[in-house]
Amino acid sequence: MDSTQQGEAQFLETWRNPTGFPGWFSEVNNQPLGKRFMVTSFAFFLVGGAMALLMRLQLVSSENNFLGPEVFNQLFTMHGSTMMFLFAVPFLEGLALYLTPLMIGSRDVAYPRLTAFGYWTYLFGGLVFFASFLVGAVPAAGWFAYVPLSGRPFAGLEMDFWLLGLALVEIGGLVAGVEIVATILKLRAPGMTLARMPLFIWAILAAGLMIIFAFTTLLMATLLLEMDRAVGTQFFNPESGGNILLWQHLFWFFGHPEVYIIFLPATGIVSMVVAAFARRIVGYTLIAMAIIVTAFVSFGLWVHHMYTTGLPELSMHFFAAASLMVAVASGTQFFAWIATLWGSAPAFKVPLMYVLGFLVVFLLGGLTGVMVAVVPFDWQVHDTYFIVAHLHYVLIGGAVFPMMAGLYYWLPKITGRMLDERLGQWGFWLAFIGFNVTFFPMHMMGFFGMPRRVYTYPAELGLDFYNLIATVGSFILALGFLVFVVDFFISLRRGTPAEDNPWGSDSLEWSVSSPSPSFTFYAPPLVQSRHPLWHEPDPELEDPATARAREALRGAPAEFRATLTTDILTAAPEAVYRLAGPTYVPLFAALGLTVLMLGILGGWYTVALGGTAFTVAALGVWLWPNEMTLRTLRESDIGQRAGLPLFATGTRSTAWWGAVWLLVILATAFGVLFYSYYYIRLFATVWPQGDLPLPGLALPPIAYALLVGSALPIYWATRSFHRGERSQTLASLAASLFLGVVFIVWLVYELASLEYAMQDNAYASLFYVISAALGLLVLTALPIGACAFLRMRREHEDRKGFMALQMQITALFWFFTAAMGAIVFFVLYLSPHVV
Amino acid sequence: MNEITATPAAAQPPAGCGARSLAIARTGARCFFVAPALALLAGCAGERTQSALHPAGPMAADIARVWWILFAVCTAVFVVVVLLMLLAVLRRGGHDRFRSPLGDKFIVVSGIIIPTFILAPLLFLSLGTTSNLRMPETSVTIEVVGYQWWWEVRYPDFGIVTANELHIPVGEPVRLEMTSADVVHSFWVPELGGKRDLNPGITTTFWIQADRPGVFRGQCAEYCGVQHAKMGFLVVALPVNDFATWVSERQEPHPEPVDERLLRGREAFFTGQCHACHAIRDTGATARVGPDLTHIGSRLSLGAATVPNNRGNLMGWIANPQPIKPGNLMPPTYLETDELHDLTDYLMSLQ
């Protein structure tokens, strides 16, 4: 009895989140970090909203002189960037990070340290971004940062703040996306098959996957632009063979999915709230399918932002068709909610009110979206206030209202306090009415000739009346959000304590106490249906292996944080997975990256180099296996008790999946480079441009053959390792490393001996940058291989445990590098010779 | 206060209430948006000089027609769906707790099948209208080059260079070949048609046509920096004969000034360093940094349709254009008062 109590106390202690000032920086648990994401992004939301109010004051009448052009342009740039990058996505990611483990029945997200790293990069990125106000160099090129306006010489230091700050924010968003995907795929409670996942989980799974592709594209685009600005590459400079439309393609290839990255999780919230209030969900499968279709199709819509750039007619029609198709997917979700609510006599509490407000507002925004998909119509309203109206109907109606619904719905679980119903209703009606008063007249302003992003307009356009209405509305809208903020703070102090399941909902998060404990579930829950809280699970039906695993994890293990990993499809238990506890390493890694960005910002390249070294060192500490942890794990009997491995390998291992997602990101990044290469080539009259010599075919094929061939010894190493042949394993690994080093040496020689510089023209820039990217990839593969080599000398007998996993990941990464080498060789060396 | 468009050549039909039955119908439809009384007030409040809903050319007319179709379809959808939604939450069912009377079939029919039947025709509307709006045979070609924050306008066939004003013959499609000297701009005259971007390093083509004489205001629609808001321009549609007259008048060489003042003014153009940025034909001033001033005296506006062109505004603009259009790239000119007067007179004489 005593030992059980002792075990329980130790379990709670293991899961206790660090307290106090220093503890704040070592936090890795998803709940405090999810909250931080939400609070930080909501603060940015309020700042972005305040900027909007200032702009509305400037536009209240024609020829107004309240702000002047410079400040106005800065404000709309910062407003858009803040709302899109610093508020919408991080807020939803925060909500997802908080809720996912609770909803799927795991104890934390898949990579707790990565959660912290993502938060810190996001926070630091946001701070760098806003630091532009302190130095008086505020970005003013719009949230879309079209070149050449965002390039030199049209934009100065302020644009570097924008690019580098956002690069950090994007990294934060990207890792949170990976986190969400990996968690949903691997950490679901036993029995929660894909078809039993809550719809919110479906939605954020889709959004997470989209983030991986879309954010990587944006990250690469911002890197290319920053290189143009900082080191004089010519990707976007039309005078040296670059192409300004390349930026627009890359930006909107991110930018359109971005809208759905925001919208899909919002629909997930709506599905949950609707189901809770209607006490059922109709069309679950159709909704899930609609989510998947939307995610796919959203990557085929980007050109509808470019109808006026002078593209070929055929491509415009293709994108018009895709744009109309995505409306069908949204329509499906819409009618599923109507069918769900039909005759259910829901209680009109605040979460439902926001959902109903969402339905009306988003419907209108969706319909104007259908309108602008019609090509000639878009020619007229593109870049006018009609679009301003449309996008706010879609983003405020389609995302902010659902977020508010989600806050009123889930805050009781997060804070343990109910929000006030009366204040909530006031807030809703103010926001709903204020929203429509603000944005509805903007449709008309667009028709009457008011372009976007103008700080003023002549009286003769006859727009004063509508602008006055919109400005009045914007203050009503702001008041609505203010009421929520007040309500929130009152509830923290005096709110009614929340019950476990105040709304009578169906999903797992409502089965734990409010506020939710940091370990979420004392024992992994059992899931046998889509509505685990409505249909009491029947333990009789549980298979013995699952029962054993769940029982073994009841309040255990006590020595370290752990959760169950399960099969991607069937959610059958596969392993016990140790989760990282509090550590400062992610903070240091994020700090290093920030120093790197600040170094580039100021042109202090030694500082940048120092930041890089610091980041690499932090990553080294992060990734190098901790002997103490390994010992604790090896001494633990949790694996035997659960009947599951504690050291999982291959597809059972979250680490292996982490490596896969990293490679997906890298592949996307290289894809962006290849796309840029061929896009610029497509519009070049001669290739290579500027009569530069064709790439030589003497030495390069040999060097690239060595790189591609280095995959072979890695393969031998894996085989020998499994056979237990230590010396052969080591020799093979050494051979691969040697070939990799030879390639790097050759690459440096090759780039140094080229008779042109990367600043010469776009071709030269592409050649250098793609080569250098491959070089960086090899330089990353080398330490991974070296690490395997060093550990192999001692751990070669660990053929089923940690070393096996390390070998798998090493091989995976090395094979990827070899494959990328082959493609780069084709793109850079072979394809220019083919006419 | 800016009555640029109210020039003699620009007798535009008023778009107020009661002008034409069509206009009434459309104003009425527009009023449907807001509370009718308010909209009636607003709709009749004054003339709108840049409205896409008052088309004056075939492209704008086609697009306006597309809009009214879209408006009708989408309004119907909106009303039906909102009614369904209200019915859904207000009707008391008394049904089984976990089952809705509506199932997947309802969702498939109303969420997939019906939308497809509504959207497919819209796609054909898009396809049809787009191909209808392909560039027709044109007789006049105008080159437009976007600058921060003004428009260079060149008639390659006539050897005319001007700025911020396109003179076109009524009833004839005009071909536009457009590019940018700096950042992306976008050409947009709502009453004549849609918009097309001006991209540096790329030439885009577009066409406009006005079906009635008048002055149509346009402005840059792609954010292009500090004074994006005041990068306007005017399209002056002239009857074919008047257009021919306009062309031949522009082609005439300027008569050598005989008046002392004008000669002094021309001198001031050079001593004041105006020629460092501006060109005037046949004077040796050929710079292309700022607008060509060969025909400045006949232009309707200054500062890219920012203020009407008259002697007072021109002199004020030369002395210091910054208060009129803050952030524009023209610096103040430091001239003696009488030099300034002479220069203004000289420039006003350049027809």
Residue whose entry in the numeric block shows the structure tokens 């390390």? A806
Which residue of chain A has the CA closest to B105? A283
- A459 neighbourhood in chain B, CB within 8 Å: 1-2
Indicate yes or no: CB of A377 within 8 angstroms of CB of B82. no
Q: What share of chain B is helix, strand, coil (3-state, %, to 5)?
A: 40, 20, 40
Q: Who among A286, A379, A450 is closest to B194 (CB)?
A: A379
The fraction of chain B above a pLDDT of 70, given in percent, is 85
- A456 neighbourhood in chain B, CB within 8 Å: 229-230
Which residue of chain B has the CA closest to A535? B98
Which residue of chain B has the CA closest to A381? B194
User: What pLDDT is stored for residue A263 in this prediction?
Assistant: 96
pTM: predicted TM-score of the whole model, two decimal places? 0.94
User: What pLDDT is stored for residue B37 in this prediction?
Assistant: 41
Residues 6+ apart with CB under 8 A from A728: A716, A717, A720
Average pLDDT over chain B, rounded to an integer: 87
Our CA-based measurement puts residue B264 at a distance from the nearest CA of chain A, in whole angstroms, of 36
> Residue B91: pLDDT band by 50, 70, 90 thresholds?
confident
Say whether pLDDT at A530 is over 70.
yes
Our CA-based measurement puts residue A596 at a distance from the nearest CA of chain B, in whole angstroms, of 29
Our CA-based measurement puts residue B118 at a distance from the nearest CA of chain A, in whole angstroms, of 10
Best probe of the A interface among B70, B123, B223, by most A CBs < 10 A, is B223
B contact residues 31-60, partner A, Cβ 8 Å cutoff: 33-34, 41-42, 45-53, 59-60
Question: Which of A391, A403, A401, A402 lies closest to A365 in space, CA to CA?
Answer: A391
Residue whose entry in the numeric block shows the structure tokens 């094979």? A815
User: What pLDDT is stored for residue B98 in this prediction?
Assistant: 61
User: What pLDDT is stored for residue B283 in this prediction?
Assistant: 93
Q: What is the DSSP string of A724-761?
A: T-HHHHHHHHHHHHHHHHHHHHHHHHHHHH-SS-TTS-
As a whole number, mean pLDDT of residues A755-768 equals 96
**What SS3 class is residue A374?**
coil
**What SS3 class is residue A159?**
helix
Question: Which of A764, A536, A563 lies closest to A646 in space, CA to CA?
Answer: A563
User: What pLDDT is stored for residue B1 in this prediction?
Assistant: 37
Q: Who among B48, B122, B222 is closest to A383 (CB)?
A: B222
State how far the Cα of A108 lies from the Cα of A831, in Å rounded to an integer.
Answer: 47
Q: Who among B67, B221, B226 is closest to A377 (CB)?
A: B67
User: What pLDDT is stored for residue A11 in this prediction?
Assistant: 94
B contact residues 145-174, partner A, Cβ 8 Å cutoff: none
Indicate yes or no: CB of A239 within 8 angstroms of CB of B182. no
User: What pLDDT is stored for residue A629 in this prediction?
Assistant: 86
Q: Who among A364, A383, A461 is closest to B186 (CB)?
A: A383
Q: Who among A149, A342, A348 is closest to B225 (CB)?
A: A149
Dihedrals φ, ψ of A536, to 5°?
-50, 125
User: What pLDDT is stored for residue B10 in this prediction?
Assistant: 38
Answer for the pair A148, A154: CB distance below 8 angstroms, yes or no. yes
As a whole number, mean pLDDT of residues A207-224 equals 97
State how far the Cα of A451 lies from the Cα of A463, in Å rounded to an integer.
Answer: 11
Q: What are A391's strand-pairing partners?
A: none
CA A142 to chain centre: 21
Q: Who among B41, B81, B190 is closest to A380 (CB)?
A: B190
pLDDT tens readout for residues B292-341: 999 999 999 999 999 999 999 999 999 999 999 999 999 999 999 999 99
Longest dimension (CA), chain B: 98
Helices assigned H by DSSP within A82-198: 89-104, 112-134, 157-186
As a whole number, mean pLDDT of residues A531-553 equals 91
User: Does residue B67 sit at the A interface (CB-CB below 8 Å)?
Assistant: yes
pLDDT tens readout for residues B220-250: 999 999 999 999 999 999 999 999 999 999 9
User: What pLDDT is stored for residue B97 in this prediction?
Assistant: 58
As a whole number, mean pLDDT of residues B67-71 equals 97
pLDDT tens readout for residues A46-102: 999 999 999 999 999 999 999 999 999 999 999 999 999 999 999 999 999 999 999
The fraction of chain A above a pLDDT of 70, given in percent, is 100
Average pLDDT over chain A, rounded to an integer: 95
As a whole number, mean pLDDT of residues A459-475 equals 96
Q: How many helices and strands, by DSSP H and E, does chain A display?
A: 28, 2
The fraction of chain A above a pLDDT of 90, given in percent, is 91
Least confident of A600-609, A792-801, B255-264: A792-801
B contact residues 268-307, partner A, Cβ 8 Å cutoff: none
Question: Which of A509, A534, A537 lies closest to A521 in space, CA to CA?
Answer: A509
User: What pLDDT is stored for residue B21 in this prediction?
Assistant: 37
Indicate yes or no: CB of A309 within 8 angstroms of CB of B199. yes
Residue count of chain B, please give it. Answer: 351
Best probe of the A interface among B17, B183, B216, by most A CBs < 10 A, is B183
User: What pLDDT is stored for residue A455 in this prediction?
Assistant: 97
User: What pLDDT is stored for residue A3 in this prediction?
Assistant: 72
Say whether pLDDT at B9 is over 50.
no
Question: Which of A406, A431, A432 lies closest to A419 in space, CA to CA?
Answer: A406
Indicate yes or no: CB of A69 within 8 angstroms of CB of B227. yes
ipTM of the shown complex: 0.94
State how far the Cα of B192 lies from the Cα of B194, in Å rounded to an integer.
Answer: 7
Q: Who among A342, A356, A367 is closest to B101 (CB)?
A: A342
